[in-house]
Amino acid sequence: MRNFFGKTVAVGAIAMLALTACGSGRDGDTDSGSGDSAKGFAANSLIGVALPAKTSENWVLAGDLFTNGLKEAGFTSDVQYAGASTTVADQQAQITAMVTKGAKVIVIGATDAAQLSTQVTAAHAAGAKVIAYDRLITGTPDVDYYVAFDNFKVGQLQGQALLDGMKAKKPTGPYNIELFAGSPDDNNATVFFNGAMDVLKPEIDKGNVVVTSGQKDFKQIAIQGWKAEGAQARMDQLLTSTYGSKELDGVLSPNDTLARAIIQSVKSRNKAVPVVTGQDSEVESVKSIVAGEQYMTINKDTRTLVAQTLTMVKALQAGNAPEVNDTKSYNNGSKVVDTYLLPPVAVTKANAAEAYANDPKLAALTK
């Protein structure tokens, strides 16, 4: 099983998780059971950063920010991306090489949440700390910290925006929608979907919102590798099979890359563009929102996420326990991982200028 966390976030600590949490570091005990962090390490030590393939702009940005930020802080850095096709094997080899080179902390944006246990166990055996960045690593006790935007909240914001956007266009339902989710090997994909369904399911149950194709299970709607072409092909199929004469009011899209592919598919059939959600505040999607096409995105400022991760690395270097603000939501199937969660922000045309006010590149697009 790869994804067991969305629910956990939804209900907070259920009994089993609460029990697990007792052994994995709670308030005032933030060294998460992985050994002795009190010693710290030399200020110019090697810090490894293993990122997934560049499936969205945020990963590209993160790589640059880590390279510069680690250098500025005086560390030696090794920042790697998994390649586009052999992502899992690439990332496994990259992490192993970082361990061999003596990295003191390894920051990982997992390509496949469930396939890194051997590598992180080896990292621990060599005395390195492991920080899961943006995506949780599952099925292993050898993850020390998780730093991410609140993924469940991202899904809830997407679900709510979808409802609001459809209502603004057409005051009464029922509304016809379709659902898309991210890649099944990315733990976040399920969490985003569960967050969105937390908001949408009551409306579906009441009949106010109809998933016309009937495809509501994660497995049916997930897009392998977060690939734009996968989303476009599925949307093409749905339009042919289900929307001959029917109107499509909304599409839950988990991120901007897929949102633009879905919009592309609809436009190529000369259909009216429905309300489409997104995530990441990618340049092309922000332009599309300002132009009134894509309905919304999520602002998860990569600069903030990388800065928070660097704060954790610096704390470890000094021999201190990094600050966390969530010690119960993220059970990775092996333990509850001490987490620092940042708040995501929903962005539509209405609040884009305000939401990007401190991001010159995106702010310029809203003028």
Nearer to ligand BGC, 55 or 294 (CB): 55
Judged by CB under 6 A, the number of residues near ligand BGC is: 12
Task: Tell me the per-residue interface mask from 153 to 192 with ligand BGC, x by CB under 6 A, - otherwise.
Answer: -----------------------------x---x-x----
Which ranges of the chain would DSSP assign to H, the alpha helix?
Answer: 6-11, 15-22, 57-72, 87-100, 117-125, 151-169, 187-206, 218-221, 228-242, 256-268, 283-290, 302-317, 352-355, 360-363
Stretch that binds ligand BGC, among 52-60, 138-146, 326-334, 344-352 (CB under 6 A): 52-60
From 32, 232, 279, 329, residue interacting with ligand BGC (rule: CB under 6 A): 279
The minimum distance between CB 340 and ligand BGC, in angstroms, equals 15
| 255 lies in the binding site for ligand BGC (CB under 6 A) | yes
Among positions 45, 55, 327, 332, the unique one binding ligand BGC when judged by CB under 6 A: 55
Burial class (CB in 10 A: 0-12, 13-18, 19+), 361: exposed
Name the region of 105 (left: φ>0; alpha: ψ -120 to 50; beta: rest): beta
Q: Are 113 and 98 in contact (CB under 8 A)?
A: no
Binds ligand BGC by CB under 6 A, chosen from 124, 129, 135, 328:
135
Cα gap 260→143, rounded to integer Å: 34
| Nearest-approach distance from CB 5 to ligand BGC, in angstroms | 13
Q: Which range in 53-61, 77-85, 167-175, 231-239 contacts ligand BGC by CB under 6 A?
A: 53-61
8 Å CB contact between 225 and 233 = no
CB of 170 to ligand BGC, least distance (A): 28
CA distance linking residue 125 with residue 142, whole number of Å: 9
- The single residue among 24, 45, 56, 119 that binds ligand BGC, judged by CB under 6 A, is 56
The two beta strands, 250-252 and 275-276, are parallel
Q: Which residues contact 126 (CB under 8 A, 6 or more apart)?
A: 99, 102
Q: Per-residue b/e over 93-129, b at no fewer than 16 CB within 10 Å?
A: ebbeebbeeebbbbbbbbbbbbbbbebbeebbeeebb
Contact window for ligand BGC (CB under 6 A) among 54-62, 67-75, 78-86, 165-173? 54-62
Q: Whole-number minimum distance, CB 219 to ligand BGC, in Å?
A: 18
Nearer of residues 282 and 338 to ligand BGC, judged by Cβ:
282
- Looking at residues 185 to 244 of the shown chain, list those that interact with ligand BGC (rule: CB under 6 A): 186, 188, 226
Q: Is 58 in the site for ligand BGC (CB under 6 A)?
A: yes
Residues that bind ligand BGC (CB under 6 A): 55-56, 58, 134-135, 182, 186, 188, 226, 255, 279-280
